[in-house]
Structure 1
Amino acid sequence: MLKVTDRATTVEQRLRAAGTAYVRATVVRAQPPTSALPGDSAVVLADGTIDGFVGGQCATGSVRVAALTALRDREPMLLRILPDSAVPFPDVPGAHLVVNPCLSGGAIEVFLEPQLPAPAVRVLGGSPIARSVRQIAPLVGLELADDTGDRTATAVVIATHGGDEATAIRTAVDDGAGYVGLVASERRGAAVLAETGLTGAELARVHSPAGLSIGARSAPEIALAIVGEIVRQLRTGGLDTPMAEPPPVHQAVDPVCGMAVVVGPDTPRLTAGDEEFFFCGPGCRDRYAEKLGS
């Protein structure tokens, strides 16, 4: 049987292979009494689904809400979850603090780290330059996109040295690639681009001749220049990794404890008349039911 941490690792491997964005949540500090221990971990998906263990239901609810914020902002976050009492717990400047009155005691800190898909590069052609790009790109953290179309490529390199290059450029632009590099001379590249029918904004995404001007001559050197240009665009040129639009996530406020709650199929809820209320856990739901019945 897989341990919780092993299961989380297996889930992460599957998500990375699919190019799915998620948040890795890891308990880095815990003060008894807590059910979570340092090292416990989980993954949080864009729809609020959690796979793994980072504490009881109330703590998990706080992690879920904060993780969605971290994923939206694409920034890591240290989440401090404290009970509604004066608990001596080391202060951490810059940490995101949540006071959860439903905690039975203790306090935990959870590091939330967004895991975004690596930029994918699709290389067209079987030339020496194409082969060299495929060899160099993974060395700088770029993934090679296959021809299945399952992932949108951040960059497309066209190194076919002939064929219908205009159509290849048009297809890459239409598919959403932010960088399209054509391996061709300046004169031939201009002739190819004239056949594409691209708008000015679309042409701004096409680089011809592809690659930084480093005086490259050999196929590996030209490939290095091309990969370098892609990296420069990623770091300073505004080139972004395409990500699937996250599903809409509904949040509510627990009417008992005031905690933010991500509404999902398993969220405790209670219907009273025409209103539906959502809760961080069964305890708050039951207390609210008693209040309505009194």
Structure 2
Amino acid sequence: MHDWSLFDRARELSDRGETFAWATVVWRQGPSSGKEGYRAIVTADGVLDGWIGGACAEPAVIREARQAIADGEPRLLLLGTSGQFGEAVPAGMTVVPIACQSEGALEIYVEPVEPAPHLLVVGRSPMARTLVDLATALGWCAELVARAEFDEVGPRTMVVVATQGHFDEDAVEGALRAGPAYVGLVGSRRRGEAVLGYLADRGVPRADLDRVRVPVGLDLGPVPHREIAVAILAELVAFRAAPRVSAPPVEDLVDPVCGMTVEPLGEPVEHEGVTYYFCCPGCRDAFRRDPGAYARKDVRC
């Protein structure tokens, strides 16, 4: 299914610097409303655009897509009823049980997509211009500004201050206040100690100051400005490639009867102070007949 509006949506999210995930159906076992090639976009807050399957598949895919966005790892999902696949599941595939009454099954590839890295270089030196040119050649969104302007800085931005003694302190303080992912200062170690000491006296928190990389870049000794730019870019690449801190699991509502991920739709049931939601009236009726057999304290609203 070629829904070209999804590509427009992907472009829009990328232009805004938002991470999202593609979900693509790569195999199906009928009957299933999802077909090979059907795809959807899932945002970090769980909004799904497109179509990959019905009410049974969507909540589980949204949960796994949000987890992929959080940890940056793609995954291949196998969605079906419990025990449907037995020992025939290939290594590395994530089995997600769904209580679909149609007994269909889906294989869905979920891939997180991050926007191009954003690099902001503050300064006017030839080294600063070379750094921006090199980052642009890598496909990064790289900007060179002469003054400390941080209106467009976000949590994924990397800032390199290369003002060469022209109000370094103001630039570093402004960068830290904007909350980027990375702040580096071009200068000697002695100069860095003076800048950070001044900012500490001004009340900038020590935790923020400890985030500043100075001198920025790999230590190559006395090299020309072009090689300094390469050394800085190499450190930025290494920073982006560093393993992420393990993301906590994305919490979702689970049908206590069948174990399927569900949305807070339909009539809920209250039991001992916990609100339960269900995938269908059959599971809800089974719970009402014997709530003690299904009640789990970890399934709540």
TM-score over 0.5 for the pair: yes
Counterpart in 2 of 1:204?
Answer: 210
Counterpart in 1 of 2:266?
Answer: 269
Q: Which moved more, 1:85-94 or 1:251-260?
A: 85-94
Q: Which of 56, 59, 83 pairs up with 1:58?
A: 56
Counterpart in 2 of 1:21?
Answer: 19
Counterpart in 2 of 1:98?
Answer: 96
Matches within 5 A, 1:125-274: 125-140=123-138, 142-144=140-142, 147-149=150-152, 151-197=154-200, 201-215=207-221, 217-236=223-242, 251-254=252-255, 257-263=258-264, 268-270=265-267
How far did residue 157 of structure 1 move? 1.0
Which whole-Å CA distance do the structure 1 matches of 2:44 and 2:120 have between them? Answer: 26
Which whole-Å CA distance do the structure 2 matches of 1:36 and 1:158 have between them? Answer: 50
How far did residue 227 of structure 1 move? 0.9
How far did residue 235 of structure 1 move? 3.2
Judged with a 3 Å threshold, the aligned counterparts in structure 2 of structure 1 residues 273 and 161 are, in CA distance, closer, same or farther, namely closer
Decide whether the 8 Å contact of 2:71 with 2:244 is kept in 1: no
Which whole-Å CA distance do the structure 2 matches of 1:154 and 1:120 have between them? Answer: 5
Judged with a 3 Å threshold, the aligned counterparts in structure 2 of structure 1 residues 104 and 85 are, in CA distance, closer, same or farther, namely farther
Q: How many residues align structurally? A: 278
Which whole-Å CA distance do the structure 2 matches of 1:99 and 1:136 have between them? Answer: 47
Counterpart code for 1:122: L
SS at match of 1:172: helix
Which whole-Å CA distance do the structure 1 matches of 2:217 and 2:286 have between them? Answer: 69
SS at match of 1:58: coil
Counterpart code for 2:142: L
Q: CA RMSD in A?
A: 3.5
- Unaligned ranges ≥5, structure 1: none
Which whole-Å CA distance do the structure 2 matches of 1:270 and 1:56 have between them? Answer: 19
Counterpart in 1 of 2:277?
Answer: 278
Q: Deviations over 1:52-97 (max 9, x none)?
A: 1111221222212222333333322111011357469953212111
Q: What's the TM-score, normalizing by structure 1? A: 0.77
SS at match of 1:269: coil
Q: Deviations over 1:21-73 (max 9, x none)?
A: 22211111112222222221111122221101111221222212222333333
Q: What's the TM-score, normalizing by structure 2? A: 0.76
Which whole-Å CA distance do the structure 1 matches of 2:222 and 2:26 have between them? Answer: 48
SS at match of 1:91: coil
Which whole-Å CA distance do the structure 1 matches of 2:123 and 2:221 have between them? Answer: 23
Q: Deviations over 1:98-141 (max 9, x none)?
A: 23222413311001122234442211123222211111123345
Q: Percent identity?
A: 36
Counterpart code for 1:52: G
Counterpart code for 1:102: C
SS at match of 1:27: strand
Judged with a 3 Å threshold, the aligned counterparts in structure 2 of structure 1 residues 103 and 221 are, in CA distance, closer, same or farther, namely farther
Counterpart code for 2:176: V
Decide whether the 8 Å contact of 1:214 with 1:225 is kept in 2: yes
Counterpart code for 1:8: L
How far did residue 14 of structure 1 move? 1.2
Counterpart in 1 of 2:298?
Answer: none
